[in-house]
């Protein structure tokens, strides 16, 4: 019976690796399937470029905002112009004060 334990542990690790890989692939698929990010459309509506936004909030916060937009579940609705609970609302408020 003890001879099967290492094999079973290996199988469980393999299952974990497959689940993790599927999650990563699904995230990339979702992010690429929906076209451009609404974040950049919001910047353009405010008359801002990415460089201006980076100067205002910093590169790290801008990168976080883009990542949040890319992984947002409401991204399709936002792109369609429907109101959503934006995870970047605070960053957009900072940019609105420019």
Please check whether residues 51 and 98 belong to one and the same domain: yes
Please check whether residues 54 and 92 belong to one and the same domain: yes
Which of 32-36, 66-70, 71-75, 89-93 is least confident? 32-36
Res. 14: pLDDT tops 90 = yes
Q: What is the pTM of this model?
A: 0.66
Would you say 43 and 53 are in contact if contact means Cβ atoms under 8 Å apart?
yes
Please check whether residues 57 and 96 belong to one and the same domain: yes
Q: List alpha helices for the chain, DSSP H.
A: 5-33, 38-45, 50-57, 59-71, 75-79, 89-96
* CA angle at 43 for the pair 45 and 97, rounded to the nearest 5°: 90
Q: What percent of the chain has pLDDT over 90?
A: 58
The confidence score (pLDDT) of residue 1 equals 61
d(CA 37, CA 42): 9
Please check whether residues 29 and 53 belong to one and the same domain: no
C-alpha 8, offset from chain centre: 35
Please check whether residues 50 and 91 belong to one and the same domain: yes
Provide the domain limits for residue 16: 1-33
Please check whether residues 43 and 18 belong to one and the same domain: no
Would you say 18 and 56 are in contact if contact means Cβ atoms under 8 Å apart?
no
């Amino acid at each position: 019976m003890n001879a099967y334990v290492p094999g079973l542990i290996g199988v469980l690790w393999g299952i974990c690796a497959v689940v993790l890989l599927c999650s990563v692939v699904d995230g990339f698929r979702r992010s690429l399937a929906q076209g451009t990010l609404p974040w950049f459309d919001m910047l353009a509506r405010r008359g801002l470029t990415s460089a201006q936004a980076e100067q205002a909030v910093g590169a790290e916060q801008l990168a976080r905002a883009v990542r949040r937009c890319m992984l947002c579940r409401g991204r399709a609705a936002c792109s369609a112009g429907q109101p959503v609970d934006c995870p970047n609302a605070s960053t957009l408020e900072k940019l609105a004060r420019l």
